[in-house]
Amino acid sequence: GTSRGIGLALTQEALQRGHHVLAVARTPQESHELMELTRFEKLTLLSADLYQEDVSQKILNQISSWPCLDLVINNAGIYEED
């Protein structure tokens, strides 16, 4: 996910270097830091939970119009409450 930690840091770095980024997070609106990055025109936010069966299709729909895809960083964590 891109809402915190290494996913957020990689998103920030990629945007600062001028790359297009598709940032996937379960609840992006709950991350103040991620929402601050919406000032970058090259950021696309996608709210998705990897437990959803259709998440792969949602991602493909977002990137299908991109001329190329140079890098994929699969950064997902699992959080389970006790």
pLDDT tens-digit profile of 10-38? 999 999 999 999 999 888 888 999 999 99
Residue 44: which residues within 8 A CB-CB, separation 6 or more? 20, 21, 22, 23, 62
According to the model, what pLDDT value does residue 39 have?
A: 94
Closest by CA to 14, choosing from 35, 46, 36, 40, is 40
pLDDT at position 34: 92
Residues 28-73: tens digit of each pLDDT = 888 999 999 999 999 999 988 878 888 889 989 988 988 888 888 8
Q: What is the pLDDT of residue 79?
A: 67
* pLDDT for residue 7 is more than 80: yes
Distances (CA, A) of 61 to 39, 57, 64, 71, 78: 23, 6, 5, 17, 24
**DSSP secondary structure code for residue 37 in this structure:** G
